[in-house]
C-alpha cells in the first residue's frame, strides 16, 4: 500500500472528517489526556495517562442496550493498540462474544516521538510505533506526517479525502525510519524474559509494599476482569474488578485460593506472561508503564519483571 503524506495544516481537516464522537490527546505539562474534539490536541510524545480501553467498553455499564453512537480515536500509541488487539481477542474471539464491546471504533494511531520515563516496550521486544491494528497511522516527519493505511475503512477515508494527501517521498520515508530508530534507542535496559516458575522470594520486598488498591489493574490497557451485579430492579450492571482485591477469587462458602497478598501479586504477573499467552496467544502486558506511575505502594513493575527475568542478576546480563 502506498504511503501518503499530509501536511500539519491539513491534519485538522482529516480529524474533522471523522464521524461520530472524536477523541484526541491533549498535552498538559508533561502528560497527555483524552479530550473530546474539537479542542487543542497534540500527536507528539508518548501514551496518554489513561488507556483508551474505555472507548471500547465502559468501566461500569448497564447490560441493557448497546450505545451505538459512532466513535473515532486519534493518537493511540503502539502499546495501547496492542492492548486493544488483546481486548478484541478476549471479548470477541475468546471463550465468549461480548455484544457490548465496541469493535467499530475508527482508529488513527501515531508513532511515539519521545518516551515517558516508565515506558519499556523495547525491553519486551515491542516497538514504539504501530505495526497493526489501526485504520490509519501517522508518523511525524518534517512539516507533517506520513500516513499508513491499515484497513479498508482507512483506505476509503483516504480516497474520499484525497485532496488532503500527497505521495510520500523516499526521503520522507527514510526520515520516518530514522526517527523511529531514535525513539527506540531512548529505552535502555536488558531484555525482559519471565521464567515460568516464579520465585516470590526474589520480589518479597516489592510484594510487601502492595496495598491491594487495584490502581495497577484499573489503569492497565489490557486488564479486563469484571464483576456482574444484579440490582434490586433486576438490571444487570457490569463493573471493573481487580485480581488485586482480597475477595476477587473468593467462592461460595467463603473459600479463597488467593487470600494472601503474595499469591495475588504473583497471579497478576502469571496472568500477563503465562496464562494470557496460553489462552489468547498474546502476552497481557504491553510495557506502557502506567501501573508504575499509578502504584500507591511505589512499586516499579519493570524492576519487578527484571528481577524475575532470566539471566545473571549479579552481572545484569
Ligand atoms: S501491566 Fe503495567 S506496564 Fe504492563 S500493560 Fe499493564 S499497566 Fe502497562
Ligand atoms: S497499584 Fe501497586 S499497591 Fe495498588 S494493587 Fe497494584 S501493585 Fe498493589
DSSP string, 256-286: -TT-SHHHHHHHHHHIIIIIHHHHHSS-S--
Identify whether the C-beta of residue 172 lies closer than 8 Å to the C-beta of residue 146: yes
Q: Whose CA is nearest to atom 4 of ligand 1?
A: 285
Q: Kindly report the average pLDDT of the chain as a whole number.
A: 94
- In this prediction, residue 311 carries a pLDDT of 54
* Residue 271 CB less than 6 A away from ligand 1: no
Grid cell 485480581 is found at: 243
pTM: 0.94
* Residue 284 CB less than 6 A away from ligand 1: no
- In this prediction, residue 1 carries a pLDDT of 65
Question: What percent of the chain is modeled with pLDDT above 70?
Answer: 97
Q: Which residues pair with 60 in a beta bridge?
A: 239
Residue 40 C-alpha cell reads as 487543542
The model's confidence at residue 309, banded by pLDDT at 50, 70 and 90, is confident
Where in 13-135 does DSSP place strands (E)?
Answer: 21-28, 31-36, 60-62, 71-76, 106-110
The model's confidence at residue 197, banded by pLDDT at 50, 70 and 90, is confident
Ligand nearest to the CA of 210: 2
Closest CA to 72 of 102, 97, 47: 102
Ligand 2 binding residues, C-beta < 6 A: 210-216, 244, 294-297, 299
Closest CA to 36 of 64, 83, 72, 60: 72
Closest CA to 120 of 269, 272, 281, 291: 291
57: helix, strand or coil: coil
Asked whether residue 26 carries a pLDDT value surpassing 60, the answer given is: yes
The model's confidence at residue 134, banded by pLDDT at 50, 70 and 90, is very high
The model's confidence at residue 275, banded by pLDDT at 50, 70 and 90, is very high
Asked whether residue 7 carries a pLDDT value surpassing 80, the answer given is: yes
Taking phi over 0 as left and psi of -120 to 50 as alpha, with beta for the rest, 289 belongs to left
- In this prediction, residue 69 carries a pLDDT of 84
* Residue 168 CB less than 6 A away from ligand 1: no
Closest CA to 31 of 116, 153, 132: 116
- In this prediction, residue 133 carries a pLDDT of 96
Determine the distance separating the centroid of ligand 2 and the alpha carbon of 210, expressed in angstroms.
Answer: 5
Mean pLDDT to the nearest integer, 213-226: 97
Q: What is the pLDDT of residues 27-79, one digit of tens each?
A: 999 999 999 999 999 999 999 999 999 999 999 999 887 777 899 999 999 99
Closest CA to 233 of 67, 98, 61, 62: 62
Distances (CA, A) of 98 to 103, 245, 247: 10, 24, 25
Cα-based angle 175, 181, 183 (whole degrees, multiple of 5): 105
* Across 143-147, 181-185, 228-232, least confident range: 228-232
Amino acid at each position: 500500500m502506498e504511503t501518503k503524506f499530509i501536511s500539519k495544516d491539513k491534519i485538522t481537516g482529516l480529524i474533522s472528517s471523522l464521524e461520530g464522537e472524536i477523541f484526541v490527546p491533549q498535552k498538559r505539562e508533561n502528560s497527555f489526556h483524552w479530550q473530546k474534539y474539537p479542542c487543542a490536541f497534540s500527536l507528539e510524545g508518548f501514551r496518554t495517562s489513561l488507556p483508551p480501553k474505555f472507548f471500547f467498553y465502559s468501566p461500569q455499564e448497564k447490560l441493557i442496550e448497546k450505545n451505538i453512537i459512532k466513535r473515532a480515536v486519534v493518537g493511540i500509541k503502539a502499546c495501547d493498540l496492542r492492548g486493544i488487539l488483546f481486548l478484541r481477542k478476549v471479548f470477541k474471539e475468546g471463550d465468549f462474544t461480548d455484544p457490548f464491546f465496541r469493535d467499530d471504533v475508527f482508529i488513527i494511531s501515531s508513532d511515539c516521538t519521545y518516551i515517558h520515563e516508565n515506558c519499556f516496550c523495547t525491553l519486551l521486544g515491542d516497538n514504539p510505533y504501530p505495526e497493526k491494528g489501526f485504520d490509519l497511522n501517522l508518523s511525524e516527519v518534517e512539516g507533517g506526517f506520513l500516513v499508513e493505511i491499515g484497513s479498508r475503512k482507512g483506505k476509503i477515508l483516504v480516497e474520499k479525502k484525497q485532496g488532503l494527501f500527497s505521495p510520500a517521498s523516499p526521503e520522507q520515508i527514510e526520515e520516518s525510519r530514522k526517527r523511529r530508530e531514535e525513539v527506540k534507542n531512548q529505552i535502555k535496559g536488558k531484555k525482559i524474559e519471565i521464567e515460568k516458575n516464579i520465585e516470590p522470594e526474589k520480589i518479597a520486598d516489592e510484594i510487601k509494599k502492595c496495598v491491594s488498591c487495584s490502581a495497577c489493574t484499573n489503569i492497565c490497557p489490557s486488564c479486563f476482569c469484571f464483576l456482574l451485579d444484579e440490582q434490586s430492579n433486576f438490571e444487570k450492571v457490569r463493573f471493573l474488578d481487580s485480581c488485586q482485591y482480597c475477595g476477587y477469587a473468593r467462592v461460595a462458602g467463603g473459600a479463597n485460593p488467593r487470600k494472601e497478598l503474595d499469591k495475588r501479586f504473583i497471579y497478576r504477573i502469571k496472568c500477563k506472561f503465562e496464562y494470557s499467552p496460553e489462552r489468547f496467544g498474546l502476552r497481557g502486558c504491553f510495557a506502557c508503564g502506567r501501573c508504575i506511575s499509578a502504584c500507591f505502594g511505589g512499586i516499579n513493575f519493570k524492576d519487578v519483571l527484571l528481577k524475575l527475568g532470566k539471566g545473571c542478576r549479579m552481572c545484569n546480563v
